[in-house]
Amino acid sequence: MKIGVVGSGYVGLVAGACFAELGHDVCLVDNDRDKLAALQAGECPIHEEFLPELLQRHRGKRLHFTGNLVDAVRKSQIIFIAVGTPPKDDGDVDLSYVESVAADIAGAIDTYKVIVEKSTVPVYTNTWVRRIMLLNGAPPELFDVASNPEFLREGSAVADFLYPDRIVVGAQTARCFALVAEAYRPLTDGSYYEKSDMIPGPVDGHFKARLIETSTKSAELIKHASNAFLAMKISFVNAVASMCEVVGADVEQVCEGIGSDSRIGRRFLRPGVGYGGSCFPKDLLAFRAVARESGLHFGLLDEVARVNEDQRHRFLRKVKKALWTLKGKKLGVLGLAFKNGTDDIRESPAIAIVKSLLKEGCRVTAYDPAAMKRAKEEFPAGSVKFASDAYEAIDGADACLILTEWEDFSALDLRRMKQLLRYPIVVDGRNLFKPALMEAAGLNYYSVGRADVVSTRATVTSFMKHAIEEDEAA
């Protein structure tokens, strides 16, 4: 098929590369000339597993980059709109980019096309896109508008696209649904999974992706409701973790117990410093705005956001509990990205926590395997030091703080960690370590929803060691 994708951000770029992987001819449109030039020159602008391979495999063959929207629309049977939908101050979503693309597409339509909303948008966007296209002169018989929300996660976006739990297509006509379904056929008939050079995923060769046909409004709601539900699960477990801390229970045991109920499930029950990223915080607010505008009070969503915000403050209180005063303390921070596997720092709890620590007068040395380049732009020059690995970040620090769930951090050598730290203190906002292991390593360990490990002997020994070293150095 001939497919156009408008917008080469996370969703557009991954969808474009994956549609090319499924055998389609894809034209990826963007109006950012620098981005286009970089893509044309073979660069991959985001840190995403398998994306560089896909771009390399299909660029210039089945995947083309262009700034010419009219040309791309004329060549394509389906046009996916994947432009940004940033949040406004009131939590509502700014749909002006979607509107402007819809108006431009309207002027270019010459044969029947399906326009697909792929960006995360509130209910009624489909109706508005159709209305805008009609107002801009698109003949009604020459187009349909479908909703096909994207559920990919950053860090595993390519695998999520190619091995989806479900593909949701909201369409008003059978013709429109059939065309969008056709674009995904190699996934729904399973033929993609029989290819020898397929991108590896979580299933074996006999997988067939599930296609769900809905109305356009239902498809729009499915996306917001899915993200709100997952955010709710995280806030729920974070609230349970706080409860565990108060009553002296262990959140890992509690999660094992509740997650084993197949109606609840084990996934998205990891307590921590709260959710971040470009989706959950924004989508939750947008969903709440939709409810408000529809005259509904969906107070549960307020509580989900409140618990999430509180989780950062709770972490800061833990740091204070471990170190008493903060002013002048030297902290080694591990992790800046909003989660592992990505260089994205949008709405990252780690960035918010570091900013609060700086306000308290702490000196921070940070390390992140992928997000340091982006993070450097977030802090005033010189306010945060950046280390070239985790050990360098914690060298001589009064405490090590773990803020992102990178696998590399859980493989750190605990003996070396203890030797490098000035005080043997680890405050872990992602529960990467088993408390018993930390105790055995002589570290004082504060995590989420589990008992603190505090060994006076470890503190005294380590403090004396460093005092002697400092004396010798003097």
Binding flag, residue 47, ligand UDX (CB under 6 A): no
Both tokens of 355, joined, read 């900013």
- Near ligand UDX in 373-402, by CB under 6 A: none
Would you count residue 151 as binding ligand UDX (CB under 6 A)? yes
Half-sphere exposure of 310 (CA within 13 A, CB side): 14
CB of 201 to ligand UDX, least distance (A): 16
Binding flag, residue 153, ligand UDX (CB under 6 A): yes
Site residue total, ligand UDX (CB under 6 A) = 20
Number of neighbouring beta carbons within 10 Å of residue 454:
15
Does 163 participate in binding ligand UDX (rule CB under 6 A)? no
Please give the residues from 401 up to 420 whose contact with ligand UDX meets the rule CB under 6 A. 405
* 18 in active site: no
What is the full DSSP assignment across 388-411? SSHHHHHTT-SEEEE-S--HHHHT
46 in contact with ligand UDX (CB under 6 A): no
CB 39 within 8 A of CB 8: yes
**Least Cβ distance, residue 355 to ligand UDX (angstroms):** 16
Name the segment binding ligand UDX (CB under 6 A); options: 52-60, 91-99, 137-145, 150-158.
150-158
Sign of the C-alpha dihedral, residues 86, 92, 226, 116?
A: negative
- Is 170 a residue that touches ligand UDX (CB under 6 A)? no
Question: 89-104 burial by CB neighbour count: b if 16+ within 10 A, else e?
Answer: eebbbebebbbebbbb
Which lies closer to ligand UDX via its Cβ, residue 71 or residue 408? 408
The span of 74-82, 162-170, 271-279, 383-391 binding ligand UDX (CB under 6 A) equals: 271-279
| Other beta carbons within 10 Å of 34 | 9
The amino acid at 81: I
Cβ closest to ligand UDX, residue 319 vs residue 351? 351
| 403 token code pair | 């803020």
* For ligand UDX, the closer CB: 307 or 393: 307
Distance CA 79, CA 13 (A): 14
Please pick, among 176, 279, 362, 400, the residue that the annotation labels catalytic.
279
d(CA 2, CA 24): 6
Closest to ligand UDX by CB, 10 vs 367, is 10
Contact string 240-269 vs ligand UDX (x = CB under 6 A): ----------------------------xx
- Check residue 339 for interaction with ligand UDX (CB under 6 A): yes
- 273 neighbors 349 (Cβ within 8 angstroms): yes
Q: Which residues of 237-260 are buried (b: 16+ CB within 10 A; e: fewer)?
A: bbbbbbebbeeebebbebbeebee
280 near ligand UDX (CB under 6 A):
yes
Using the rule CB under 6 A, which residue among 21, 25, 144, 154 binds ligand UDX? 154
Cα dihedral angle (411, 412, 415, 416), rounded to 10 degrees?
150
Q: Which residues bind ligand UDX (CB under 6 A)?
A: 150-154, 227, 230, 234, 268-270, 272, 275-277, 279-280, 338-339, 405
Residues with catalytic roles: 279
